[in-house]
C-alpha cells in the first residue's frame, strides 16, 4: 500500500516523496514495482516516458525514520499491528516538526489510540486509501 501511495503522490500530485522502509530489499522491490507499473502506463499511451522518469525521480527511498525529519506531511502504511504502529508514531513524533500532520492508513486500529502515542494527538489523522479499477483496461 505504501508504494501505491508514494506513486500517486509523485505522479498525480507531483510531490517529492520519501519512501521509508527499514528493509532495503522491500524498498528495492517497491521501486521496481512502481517503475514496472509506470512502464505499463507508457506502453498503453497513458503517460509519456518523460513523465515516468519524472515520477520516479520524485521518489527517494530511505531506510530510517530519522530521514523524515524535514517532511511536511507523513502517511504511515505499515502492517496492521497495533504495537508496531504505536512505536512508529512515537518515533515520528520525536523526529518531525511539531506542526507536521501524521496520517495513518489503518483500517482497524483506533486513530485516537495511535494519536495517544504522540504529543500531538490533534495532528494525527486517518487516511484510508482504496485502490479500484474503473474499467477492465484502466490498470
Active site residues: 128
SS3 120: coil
Q: Can you list the alpha helix ranges (DSSP code H) found in the chain?
A: 2-11, 24-43, 49-57, 82-95, 111-115
SS3 37: helix
Q: Report the C-alpha gap between 123 and 100 in whole angstroms.
A: 7
CB contact at 8 A, 7 and 59: yes
Amino acid at each position: 500500500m505504501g508504494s501505491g501511495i508514494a506513486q500517486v503522490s509523485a505522479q498525480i500530485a507531483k510531490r517529492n516523496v520519501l519512501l521509508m522502509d527499514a528493509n532495503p530489499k522491500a524498498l528495492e522491490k517497491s521501486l521496481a514495482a512502481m517503475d514496472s507499473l509506470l512502464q505499463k502506463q507508457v506502453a498503453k499511451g497513458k503517460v509519456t516516458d518523460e513523465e515516468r522518469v519524472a515520477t520516479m525521480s520524485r521518489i527517494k527511498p530511505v531506510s530510517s525514520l530519522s530521514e523524515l525529519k524535514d517532511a511536511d506531511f507523513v502517511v504511515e502504511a505499515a502492517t496492521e499491528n497495533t504495537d508496531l504502529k504505536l512505536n512508529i508514531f512515537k518515533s515520528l513524533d520525536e523526529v518531525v516538526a511539531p506542526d507536521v500532520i501524521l496520517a495513518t492508513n489503518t483500517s482497524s486500529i483506533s486513530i485516537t489510540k495511535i494519536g495517544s502515542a504522540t504529543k500531538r494527538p490533534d495532528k494525527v489523522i486517518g487516511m484510508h486509501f482504496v485502490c479500484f479499477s474503473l474499467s477492465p483496461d484502466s490498470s
